[in-house]
Chains A and B, each alone.
Chain A
Amino acid sequence: MINAIDKTLASLIKRNISGYLPVLMALIVIWVYFGISEPAFLSSRNLYYLLMQSSVVGILAIGITLILLLGEIDLSIAAVAGVAASILGVLSTNYDFSPLTSCLVALIAGGVLSCLMGLVTSLFGVPSFIATLAGLMGFQGLMMKILGSNGTINVRDPFIRGITTSTLSDNHAIILSIFIILIYGFLLYFDHNKRIKYGLNINPLKLILSKFSFFSLSILSVAIALNSYRGVPFLVVIIFFLTVFIAWFTKSTAFGLYIYAIGGNAKSARHVGIPVIFVTICTFTITGLIAAIAGIIGVSRYASVSYNTFVGGPLLLETIGAAVIGGTSLFGGHGSVWHALLGALVIGSLGNGLDLTGASAADKLIVSGSILLVAVSIDSFARRFKK
């Protein structure tokens, strides 16, 4: 009897965290390894820089997760971010647009470019790999044209810089954390109550409590750790709420359900009357908006726009890597934006740790590739055993 209860509990826990497990394990292994070999890695100062460094990849990973859930791919995502960044840089620096207007134009540009990719993919039936590869090349060219002969624009606008340089005061950070924890607790309670009210099977209290304590502990410890250096960056708050919103959107609205359904079985999605083309185009557009946000964050962080930071470097591959390390399937239908964010942290931690230990660029590439391979192998093993 007790055995049976334990078994259900175990299977419940497995089902609840199995998605997080590979990426969390990878993260823990990396942190323990670098924590031992380079104690500065676990300092609050380094945590601050780690989060900052992972921000652009993290936001892009959220965006590409939506596309991967559909069963498509977007190779143009980093280039879209680059175009949005260039537009922001040029408008705010060379043309004296107000920073807010420039950001708005950059957002619209990102949405329009990716919408175009969605149109070509779903209306003309061009495989998204090819359509967005063409987009990647075209948008790179567009970015060069916008940036002009210099290739680099320095952005000194205090508002734009402030997005990534400002931090919350210590008290505000703690109050916000407690507020978020209370809301999370309320949502768990609400969910539990509703399930009882509708006569559905409920999760054991132990599981709910452990979920809640894990969440609150993580939030509070990050807030306290960051407070002991410069404070919680405003950027972290932005990314947190962006992820909350996109996660809610994909998991709890009809639109989000359609994204998963199309990625899981496009044919039957069409059969039950889901507007597949419309959903695909809209999802690409949303991803374009998210890419533009990443572009704006990038401009703010580097105080400049240059070709190399967005499309010349490894940004696109790191983005796809982050989503896949987070357990999002390249074949569609499986994954979540929270996992993608954790995947971005894995990539960021790796780069950061290797930098601290003085590894060469060559070492960094080799290790990153290996980690990607290991993470994906763990994931596909886990999937095979679940079946």
Chain B
Amino acid sequence: MSKKHSENDKHKPHLLANSITKSFGAVQALKHMDFEVNKGEVMGLVGDNGAGKSTLLRILTGVEKPDSGEVSIDGNETKISSPQDAVNAGISVVYQSLALCENLSASENVFLGKEILYTYGANFYPNILKPLNKYLMEAETKRSLENLKVDSIKYLNQKINGLSGGQRQCLAIARAIHSNSDILLLDEPTSALGLSQTEQVLSLIKKLRTADRAIVIISHHLSHLYEVCDRITVMKAGQNVGVFSLHHTSEEEIIRAITIGEVVINK
């Protein structure tokens, strides 16, 4: 365990979860869990089933509230007690289920909840009754998919129920980054995909890495993580059992940490 990340102690992480504890009845899902990710970095989050990955994700996105511990962004403590708080804090998430509406078009899915409306200069009636500017929404969607080099989704104004799993994953990611968030959490982005679709999504993730964005990927596929991540945080039984820089760590060492990893706290 000598490769633990300690070289940038002076560096302030972009997102820092400090000593998070969460219990569900008698089950302690998280025990003083520490987690961090820097800007410009892709961080993997691995661990066996039941290690607490999903609980951590749900706390970071405001779906669950921690019993103790705090989350800070750029060194400022940030209260995240609802999904809306998470959005306001610049955290967006792509769930494993993707949370897309099958019966809506690609552009409607990207803009759902933050539609572009015609205002006609009138403000005496509520936004919800205003007409949608479908053209602008579609053009914006087209542009952001082009920026991500996703060219396989052709008809942005048609229902998405004909799209493949990879295309949907790309669309869900496009929606997540469209909200101008600088922290992106991806839950199992490749779990349900075939080979070529996995490649498509991984290359998209590589393109997402920019200097001012922090990306967290939860996955069981170490090889996929090796392709895109800088570091991997390993969880076991609700605790952080090590943060590994992938340049210096072999896959065996990570697997050992996942299966028999003991907690060595050296933060």
Contact check, A265 vs B101: say whether CB atoms are below 8 A apart: yes
Task: Encode contact with A along B128-140: 1 for CB under 8 Å, 0 otherwise.
Answer: 1111101110110
Contact check, B103 vs A264: say whether CB atoms are below 8 A apart: yes
- Chain B residues whose C-beta falls within 8 Å of the C-beta of A387 in the assembled complex: 161-162
Report if A264-B84 is in contact (Cβ < 8 Å); known contacts: A200-B142, A257-B108.
no
Size category, A interface: 20 to 34
- Chain B residues whose C-beta falls within 8 Å of the C-beta of A254 in the assembled complex: 115, 117, 127-130, 132
A252: nearest residue on chain B (CB-CB)?
Answer: B131
Set B113, B134, B138: member contacting A252, Cβ < 8 A: B134
Contact check, B132 vs A252: say whether CB atoms are below 8 A apart: yes
Query: A199 near B: Cβ within 8 Å?
Result: yes
A268 to B168, CA, bound (A): 15
- Which of B83, B113, B139, B157 gathers most chain A CB within 10 Å? B113
A271 to B61, CA, bound (A): 11
Give, as a whole number of angstroms, the nearest-CB distance from B256 to chain A. 37
A263 to B101, CA, bound (A): 9
Contact check, B138 vs A272: say whether CB atoms are below 8 A apart: no
Contact check, A198 vs B135: say whether CB atoms are below 8 A apart: yes
Set B127, B132, B142, B162: member contacting A386, Cβ < 8 A: B162
Query: A333 near B: Cβ within 8 Å?
Result: yes
Query: A194 near B: Cβ within 8 Å?
Result: yes
A256: nearest residue on chain B (CB-CB)?
Answer: B132
Query: B99 near A: Cβ within 8 Å?
Result: yes
A255: nearest residue on chain B (CB-CB)?
Answer: B128
A263 to B103, CA, bound (A): 9
Query: B263 near A: Cβ within 8 Å?
Result: no
Contact check, A260 vs B104: say whether CB atoms are below 8 A apart: yes
- Chain B residues whose C-beta falls within 8 Å of the C-beta of A267 in the assembled complex: 99
Set A198, A255, A260, A264: member contacting B139, Cβ < 8 A: A198
Contact check, A195 vs B101: say whether CB atoms are below 8 A apart: no
Contact check, A264 vs B138: say whether CB atoms are below 8 A apart: no
- Chain A residues whose C-beta falls within 8 Å of the C-beta of B155 in the assembled complex: 15, 201
Query: A51 near B: Cβ within 8 Å?
Result: no
Give, as a whole number of angstroms, the nearest-CB distance from A197 to chain B. 8
Number of interface residues of B (CB under 8 A): 34
- Chain A residues whose C-beta falls within 8 Å of the C-beta of B114 in the assembled complex: 272
A322 to B199, CA, bound (A): 47
- Chain B residues whose C-beta falls within 8 Å of the C-beta of A279 in the assembled complex: 128
Give, as a whole number of angstroms, the nearest-CB distance from A282 to chain B. 9
- Chain A residues whose C-beta falls within 8 Å of the C-beta of B225 in the assembled complex: none
Contact check, A253 vs B138: say whether CB atoms are below 8 A apart: no
CB contacts under 8 Å to A, within B125-175, are 127-132, 134-136, 138-139, 142, 154-158, 161-162
Query: B112 near A: Cβ within 8 Å?
Result: yes
B138: nearest residue on chain A (CB-CB)?
Answer: A200
A249: nearest residue on chain B (CB-CB)?
Answer: B129
CB contacts under 8 Å to A, within B26-65, are none
- Chain A residues whose C-beta falls within 8 Å of the C-beta of B112 in the assembled complex: 257, 261, 268-269, 272, 274
Query: A334 near B: Cβ within 8 Å?
Result: yes
- Chain A residues whose C-beta falls within 8 Å of the C-beta of B235 in the assembled complex: none
Report if A333-B101 is in contact (Cβ < 8 Å); known contacts: A200-B156, A271-B83, A387-B161.
yes
Report if A201-B154 is in contact (Cβ < 8 Å); known contacts: A254-B127, A267-B99.
yes
Give, as a whole number of angstroms, the nearest-CB distance from B250 to chain A. 39
Query: B91 near A: Cβ within 8 Å?
Result: no
A191: nearest residue on chain B (CB-CB)?
Answer: B135
Query: B227 near A: Cβ within 8 Å?
Result: no
Query: B15 near A: Cβ within 8 Å?
Result: no
Set B104, B117, B128, B130: member contacting A264, Cβ < 8 A: B104
| Given A198-B136, A254-B128, 19 extra CB contacts under 8 A | A194-B135, A198-B139, A200-B156, A200-B157, A201-B154, A252-B131, A253-B128, A253-B129, A254-B130, A254-B132, A264-B101, A265-B99, A265-B100, A267-B99, A271-B99, A272-B113, A333-B102, A334-B103, A387-B161
A sample of 27 cross-chain residue pairs with beta-carbon separation below 8 angstroms, ordered by A number, consists of A197-B135, A199-B139, A200-B138, A200-B157, A201-B154, A201-B155, A252-B132, A253-B129, A253-B130, A254-B128, A254-B132, A260-B103, A261-B101, A264-B101, A265-B102, A267-B99, A269-B101, A269-B112, A272-B113, A273-B113, A274-B113, A279-B128, A333-B102, A333-B103, A334-B103, A386-B162, A387-B162
Residues of A within 8 A of B (CB): 15, 194-195, 197-201, 252-255, 257-258, 260-261, 263-265, 267-269, 271-275, 279, 333-334, 386-387
The 8 A-B pairs of least Cβ separation, nearest first, read A272-B113, A268-B99, A264-B101, A333-B103, A264-B103, A198-B139, A265-B101, A198-B135
